[in-house]
Amino acid sequence: MSGKILTVVGARPQFIKAAAVSRAIRETDGLTEVMIHTGQHFDPNMSDLFFEELAIPKPKHHLDVNGGGHGDMTGRMLMAIEPILLAERPDWVVVYGDTNSTLAGSLTAAKLHIPLAHVEAGLRSFNRRMPEEINRVVTDHLSTLHLCPTATAIANLAAEGVVKGVHHVGDVMYDATLFAMDKAETASNILTDLRLQPKRYALATVHRAENTDDPQQLREVVQFLLDHARDYPVVLPLHPRTRHAASRMGVSLDGLRVIEPIGYLDMAKLLHYAAEVYTDSGGLQKEAYFHRVPCITLRDETEWTETVANGWNRLWKGPAYLARNEITDYGSGRAAIKIAELLKH
């Protein structure tokens, strides 16, 4: 069989996952791909650079939709995606993760009766106050093909009555990590540029609405980072949302090594040689494990429960790390190949 795959991306974690799957699609006879970039992450350091470094084909359609509230952004994406799907007539629409871009792509495909494949299906934080959780649940219940990274994700879907088209493929982020570190070792000079010594610094990221929209919450997160900065430098590539929130709320970031957003190869190298990671990003929690770097999650829950159960991750207000074990659920770096084969057949 053969088919046209239409991929919808819009944010940094999706670029990384799509890079691995796009490579596999290009290497699979009979499959072609058309990509839509919604523009949700519009900073060149959070978008264009990732496409360059990860060798992702230039998107055929760039929607330039960013800013505004959740409803406003998602609505504009819906309006822009629908005519593209009608013109392209794909056999599959593929979406990734939990962003507004994911939700918009999913709703449009479902209303046009185009089969939908969700990469990273079945993850749950069980916190419906998070917009990402709503996006995941809705997308999973609209999908035809559920491409799950873990056995826990499959169990979550089964608990919601979703059992058809469910496959445990492993985690495409692991595929991407293996690809990136091969390149980053020689291509990135980030440690030299920042005058950092391996395992003598921590890496932090903060971007989720739950941490940036509430002044008290943002102050708590920043104070947590400052407390840890007493032990060694905490490097914080600053997300535009967090920069604006801190400025608006009068939250000082003095005492942290604040840098501009960086490309994926620089980020991979920073992560690989960090002593510890502090993040509210779901993707970075996993990437920390792939590099075998302990992680503290700046949230009250995580979708990646196996990283906590196996001692590589803990919640910032939760118990200490558990005993460390390897995690076999994520696969061996061939998740993207499995996904391409499922889309083909």
- Residues 6 or more apart from 49 whose CB is under 8 A from it? 263, 264
Which among 77, 72, 73, 150 has a CA at the least distance from the CA of 109? 77
Which among 24, 311, 342 has a CA at the least distance from the CA of 168? 342
Give the integer Cα–Cα distance in Å for 326 and 273.
Answer: 19
Which among 9, 108, 5, 115 has a CA at the least distance from the CA of 58? 9
**What is the number of helices (H) and of strands (E) in the chain?**
15, 13
Q: Which one-letter amino acid corresponds to residue 113?
A: H
Residues in the chain: 345
Contact 111, 23 (CB under 8 A): no
Count of CB atoms situated within 10 Å of the CB of 324:
11
SS3 265: helix
- The residues annotated as belonging to the active site are 207
DSSP per position, 279-301: ES-HHHHHHHHHTT--EEESSS-
Contact 102, 95 (CB under 8 A): yes
Full 3-state SS string of 146-173? EEECCHHHHHHHHHCCCCCCEEECCCHH
H helices of 6-55, where? 12-26, 48-53
